[in-house]
Amino acid sequence: MASMTTLNGSRFDRSLFESVLKRRFFFTEAFEIYRLSPNFKGDNRGLYDYGPPGTALQTNIENILELDCSVLTPELVLKTSGHVDKFADWMCKDPTKGEYLRADHLVENVLESRLSRGLSGPCKDSPKLDDAAISEYNDILAKIDNYDGPQLGELITRLDIRNPDGNGEVNPPIPFNLMFKSTIGPSSAAPVYLRPETAQGQFLNFKKLLDYNQGSMPFASASVGKAYRNEISPRSGLLRVREFLMAEIEHFVDPENKQHARFSEVCNVKLPLLDKEKQLAGNTTPQTLTVGEAVESKVVDNETLGYFLGRVMLFLLKTGIDPLKVRFRQHMDNEMAHYACDCWDAELLTSYGWIECVGCADRSAYDLTVHSKYTGTPLVVKQVLSEPVKVEEWEAALEKKLVGPRFKRDAKAIQTSVEGLDQTSLEQLATQLRETGAVTINTPVLSDGSTSVELSSDLLAIYKVTRTSNTREYTPNVIEPSFGIGRILYGLLEQVYWHRPHDAARAVLSLPLSVAPIKVLIVPLSAQPQFIPLVRKLSARLRSLGISNNVDSSSASIGKRYARNDELGTPLGITIDFDTLADGSITLRERDNMTQLRGSEDEVVQAVKNLADSTESWEEISQRLQPFLGQGQED
C-alpha cells in the first residue's frame, strides 16, 4: 500500500509507532486483560479505550458542541430514514473457515497482493500477470468503491478471488446491516438500534431548532457523540472501529440559494480534488483548485458545499495535518450513501493508504422529507416574501355532511389524513379520482382495524386553486460535514510521529501546541526538596493562564524525562535547576529541535503564553532569550 515517510524523511514503521502509542497510553484495545481468556467468545475486535493523553487530544480536536441526542433509536425512525433497509455492507462467507469477509475489502486485498507480487494467483508458481491484467486490476482498484454486491460477486468468480487465509472459495456476497440491535423495556417487544450516525436526532428536532433560531435561515446544528457500526471484520486498529466519536454539523439551507455569507473567508483556500469522473477513468491524481475556482467551474456543486470543504481543509491544517497528505475525493454514484446526492470525503494519507476522515455530503431534502411525510409533521420553512406571489396549488375537500354520518368516529382521522396529503400525492390522486371515480387514502388505524379508506368523488373533491401568497414554503436542503474524530486523531498521530536520527527508540510526536494533550513539562533537576515549592508555584501559574502542564520529578535523568514526554507530544519543557534557586532563571526547551533558552520566570512564562496564543514563534523568542547550553543538556 501507500509508502509513508516520517517528518524527518525516514521510513514510517507502524509497529514502532503503535508501541509508542500503547506505551504512553494514547489508546489500548478495550477489555485487553480479558482477550486471552478461552471464555472470551466471539468477535470483539474494533473496540478501543482512549487513555489520558488520547482523551485530552480528542477533546482538543473537537470543539463544536450543540445538541446531545439519544443514541438508542427506535426501529421506526431508522426504517423511515432508510437505514434499516439500506445501511449495509456486502459480505462473503468462507464456509470452510466459518469466517465472514467484507466483499470489497476481499477483492481489494487479493488484487493488491497479486499486483505487488506480479502473479495471477496465490501460489509461488501461479502464472505471471500480463499487462492486460495489471491494467484491469488497477482500473478495478481505482473504482473499487463503485461496485455493488452482484458486481463484486462477478469479480470474485471471474478472477477466482479466494479467502487469503486458507485459499478457500467464498459464497456470493450478501448484504449485512451494520446497525447494532437491541430491545427496550421489559416486554422486549420494541426493537431499537444504536444510532449509526448522529444526524437523525438533529433532523427530528428541526422544527425546534428553527424556533430556537427565531425562524431565521440558514442555520446549522451540531452534535458530538458516539455512533456505532457493526463492522463485518474490523482490522486496521483505530481506523475501522465499531464504536466511534463523531462530530456532525447539519447546515440547513434554502435549496434555491446555496450561497454562503462567509464564502470569501475560504475562497482562496487550495483543495486537492479527485472528482468522480477522474476515478471512473482510473485516475488517482487530484487536481489542486482554490475553493473559488472549484465552485465557479462546478467541480464542487455550490458555495455552501465549497465553504465547508474549505473549512474542513483549514481545520485539518490547524490540527497539524500535512497539506501534502490530504485529498478530497468525490463519491461515485454507486458508492454514495442512500441519503446523499453529492459527497466529498477528506482523506488522509496513512500507512493503511488514503483513509476517509471527514465526509461532506449534500443530503438535499431527503431526510426532512421522509420524516415529515411519515409523521405528518411539516419540517419546512415559511419565508415571508417582500412581494406577494401567485401560487397554483392542489386542494382537497371532503363533503363533510356525508363524511361525518358515514364514518362517524373515524371521520376526524380521515379528515386529518386528507389534510396531510402533499402536492405530489394530490396531483396523482386528482387524476385517479377523475379517471376511476374513487381513490384510496392511507389513514391511522381506524375503528374496524383498517389503515386506509376508499373515498369516492361524492365524498372527496380535488382541484387546483390559485392563491396570492405572502409566504413561500420550502423544505431546506442539508449540507453535512461529518467528522470521524478517532480517524483524524489516528491520521494525525501517524503524520506527526518520527524518531531522533539513528535512534528508533527515541520517538517524537510533533503535535502542534494547540492540540497537544499537555503543553508544558516541568522538570526539576533532581528530587531535592528545595525545588518543590518552585515547581508548585510555576505549575499553578501556568494553570491559571489556562496552560496545561505536567510535573515529572521522578529520579530519571533529565534527558530521559524529556524523551518520555517527547513521546507524549509535549511541545515545551521547563527545567528548574540550582541557578534557579540563585537567580530565578529557568530553561525553556523546544521538543522538535531540542534547543534550549534561558530567562527569568516572567520572561519564560510570557514566551510560553505567546507561543500558546500563536502571537510569537520559537524563532522570535530565540532572539529575545539567551541560548542555553548548560546543565540538563541532552546527548
Tell which one of 159, 192, 488, 572 touches a copy of itself (CB under 8 A).
Answer: 192
Joined together, the cell numbers standing for residue 345 give 470525503
CA angle 185, 186, 191 (to 5 degrees): 45
Give the shortest CB-16-to-a copy of itself separation in angstroms: 19
**Min separation Cβ 87 and a copy of itself, Å:** 14
Cβ burial of 128 (10 Å; 0-12, 13-18, 19+) is: exposed
187 sits near a copy of itself (criterion: CB under 8 A) = yes
Question: What angle (nearest 5°) sits at the alpha carbon of residue 506, between those of residues 500 and 508?
Answer: 70
Taking CB under 8 A as the binding criterion, the range among 184-192, 272-280, 389-397, 602-610 that sits at the site for a copy of itself is 184-192
Torsion 10-11-16-21 (CA) sign: positive
Q: Is 50 in the site for a copy of itself (CB under 8 A)?
A: yes
Say whether residue 547 binds a copy of itself (CB under 8 A).
no
Q: Verify binding: residue 182, a copy of itself, rule CB under 8 A.
A: yes
Shortest Cβ distance from residue 230 to a copy of itself (Å)?
Answer: 6
Closest to 353 (Cα-Cα) out of 54, 164, 165, 145:
145
Q: Quick one: 200 or 330, whose CB is closer to a copy of itself? A: 200
Q: Is 540 in the site for a copy of itself (CB under 8 A)?
A: no
Among 138, 212, 447, 471, binds a copy of itself (CB under 8 A): 212
Q: Is 201 in the site for a copy of itself (CB under 8 A)?
A: yes
615 binds a copy of itself (CB under 8 A): no
**b/e per residue 446-455 (b: at least 16 CB within 10 A):** beeeeeebeb
Other C-beta atoms within 10 Å of 542: how many?
21
User: Least distance from C-beta 298 to a copy of itself, angstroms?
Assistant: 33
By CB under 8 A, the residues from 54 to 73 that bind a copy of itself are: 54-56, 58-59, 65-73
Q: What's the half-sphere exposure (Cβ side, CA atoms, 13 Å) at 466? A: 2
- Asked whether position 225 contacts a copy of itself by CB under 8 A, the answer is yes
* 565 near a copy of itself, rule: CB under 8 A: no
For 634, counting Cβ atoms within 10 Å of its Cβ (0-12 exposed, 13-18 middle, 19+ buried), the class is middle
Q: Which of residues 334-373 bind a copy of itself (CB under 8 A)?
A: 371
Nearest residue to 369 (alpha-carbon basis) of 81, 86, 83: 81
Give me the residue label for grid cell 480528542. Answer: 58
38 touches a copy of itself (CB under 8 A) = yes
Nearer Cβ to a copy of itself (372/596)? 372
34 binds a copy of itself (CB under 8 A): yes
For cell 380521515, what's the residue? Answer: 414
Comparison of 32 and 160: residue with beta carbon closer to a copy of itself? 32
Q: Under the criterion CB under 8 A, does residue 527 sit at the interface with a copy of itself?
A: no
Q: Which stretch binds a copy of itself (CB under 8 A): 210-218, 278-286, 326-334, 600-608?
A: 210-218
Between 203 and 394, name the residue whose CB sits nearer to a copy of itself: 203
Q: CA-to-CA distance for 571 and 589, rounded, in angstroms?
A: 8
376: alpha, beta or left? (left if phi > 0; alpha if psi -120 to 50) = left
Of the candidate residues 10, 43, 126, 257, the single one contacting a copy of itself (CB under 8 A) = 43
The residue type found at 50 is Y
Nearer to a copy of itself, 468 or 544 (CB): 544
Q: Is 324 in the site for a copy of itself (CB under 8 A)?
A: no
Q: Cell numbers for 45, please give them.
A: 475486535
Report strand pairing: 596-600 vs 626-627: antiparallel
554 belongs to the binding site for a copy of itself (CB under 8 A): yes
Q: By the 8 A CB rule, do 414 and 443 touch?
A: yes
- 61 vs 455: CA distance, rounded Å: 58
- The only residue of 3, 15, 37, 623 in contact with a copy of itself, by rule CB under 8 A: 37
Environment class of 204 (CB within 10 Å of its CB; exposed 0-12, middle 13-18, buried 19+):
buried
Say if CB 118 and CB 129 are below 8 A apart. Answer: yes
How many residues bind a copy of itself, per CB under 8 A? 87
Query: Sign (positive/negative) of CA torsion 310, 312, 315, 317?
Result: negative
What is the total residue count of the chain?
635
Ranges within 441-480 binding a copy of itself (CB under 8 A)? 444-445, 451
CA atoms within 13 A on the CB side of 151: 10
The x, y and z cell numbers of residue 477, run together, are: 436542503
242 binds a copy of itself per the rule CB under 8 A: yes
Give the nearer residue to a copy of itself in terms of CB position, either 227 or 269: 227
Instruction: Output the smallest distance, CB 626 to a copy of itself, in A.
Output: 32
Q: How far apart are CA 437 and CA 13, in angstroms?
A: 75
Q: Which of 97, 262, 323, 374 binds a copy of itself (CB under 8 A)?
A: 374
For the segment 72-111, give every residue that binds a copy of itself (CB under 8 A): 72-77, 91, 98, 100
Q: Does 204 bind a copy of itself (CB under 8 A)?
A: yes
Residue 121: CB minimum distance to a copy of itself, A: 27
| Residue 163 main-chain phi, psi, to 5 deg | -60, 115
Interface with a copy of itself includes 36 (CB under 8 A)? yes
Distance (Å, whole) CA 59 – CA 63: 7
Nearer to a copy of itself, 5 or 70 (CB): 70
Selected from 377, 457, 606, 622, the binder of a copy of itself by CB under 8 A is 377
Stretch in the footprint of a copy of itself (CB under 8 A) among 20-28, 320-328, 354-362, 598-606: 20-28
The reply on whether position 302 binds a copy of itself by CB under 8 A is no
